Structure 1
Amino acid sequence: MKKILPFFALLITCICFAQNDEAFVDALVAQKMAELEMQENPEYFLRKDYCDGNIQMFVMPDGKHCASKSTYYAIYVFWKEDEDKLKFQKFDNCGSFIPIPIGMSKNIKKALKEKQDLKKEVVKPFEAEKIDNNAFDNMSVQSCHKEYKFIFEGNAFEKSFKEFDLTNNSKYKNINADHNKSLLLIKLDEDISEMIKHFEENGKFFREN
C-alpha cells in the first residue's frame, strides 16, 4: 500500500497541474488569426510580452492549477470592429480570455493610419553616452521583451524591442531613449500598456476555460 499511495499522488498532480510553453500560446493565437483572416478586410495586430525566466502559476476556473513552462508569455490580439472601436483578446500559457471591446486612443488611431511610417521605424538599442563597465551598477536589469506583428490589407510586418531600450535610468544617459519614445510604435505601446494595466488592476480579464 505504501508504494501505491505515492503513485496515486503523482497521478493526481499530473491531472490537476498543467505546464504549457510558448508553442502552446502561439498555437492558440494562430487559431485566432485564422478566424480573423476569414473577415472580408482583415486588419489586426498582436503584442507578445515576456521576461526571460519569469514563471507564473494560476488557479483555473475549474480549480486545477496551471503554470508557465520556463517562461510566461502573454499575447494580446487586437482587431478593428469599426473606425473607432477595437476588440482585443488575451492569451497566455494557460489558455484564452474573453474578448474585450475598447475605444481607440489618439496614438492608436495615428499608428494605424500612418502604416508605412510605422513599418519603417526602428527602435534603437540601449546605448550609454559614455563607455563604463559600471554603467549599470544602480540598475535592476530584466530581459523583458515586446514583439509586435501587424497585418494590414494582407501584408504583415513585425517589430520588437526590449523594455530596457526605452529606459534612461543607468549611470549614464541612454542616448537613444528620446528617439525611441518619439516613435509611433512606442506611443502605441504606451497606450496599450496603460490599458492592459487598467484591466488587470480592475479584474477585467476573465478566462474562457
Structure 2
Amino acid sequence: MFRILHVSDIHCSLDNLEEVVEAERGNFDVLAITGDICCNSRLRRILSTTGSKVLAVTGNMDDIHIARLLRDYGWLLDGRVEVIGKYVIAGVGGLQPVQDVARLEELLPKALTRESILIVLAHHPIHGYLDVTFAGVHAGLYETKKLVDHFKPHVYLHGHIHEARGVAHYANTLLVNPGPLAHGYYAMIEMDDSGNAHAELRSL
C-alpha cells in the first residue's frame, strides 16, 4: 500500500503542519503539499524531519522565496516529474500553471510506462470539479482539465478553493481537495499496486 499525506493552503499555519506531520508520523510514504504555504520561517526544519518523501507545488499566494527553499531541498515539483517505483508524480504549481502544464506535456510521455500509476499534484482544481467558490463561480482551470483528459491520472490532488473541500471522481481520476490546513484540514490517500485509490478527509 502506498500512502500520501496531503495538505494544502497552509497560509503560515506552520504549527498545524508540524502537528499533522507528528500525528501521522510513520503512516505515510509521501507528504504532498499543494500550495499556498506562504511562510518559510520553520518550513525547512519541519519538512526535513518527516521521515518520508516530501513533494510540493507552489500556490498562487507563494513567492519566489518559498519556491527557492523548496527547490534547494529537492521538494519543488512545479513543472517536474518524480518517479517512485511505479508511481509517477507530476506537479503543476500555482505561480505558472500554464507553463507547468506545457512542460509536463513534454515530460510525461517519456516517464510513463504501461505499469505506471500517475499522480498529479496541483494547486488549482480542474474546471468544473471541486472548484465552486462561495460566489457560485467555477474557478478551476481548463488547462489542468486538459492535462487530466490527455494523461488520465489515477489521482489528482489539489487545493486553492477553501470552501470546496471534498472527494470526487472525474472519469477514472480520483480528485481530492483536503481543505485548508490553516483550518486544521488534511487528507490521507491510500493506493494499491493496481492504482486503486481511496481518500479519507481528516482534521486535527
TM-score by length of 2: 0.25
Q: Which has the larger radius of gyration?
A: 1
More helix by share: 1
TM-score by length of 1: 0.25
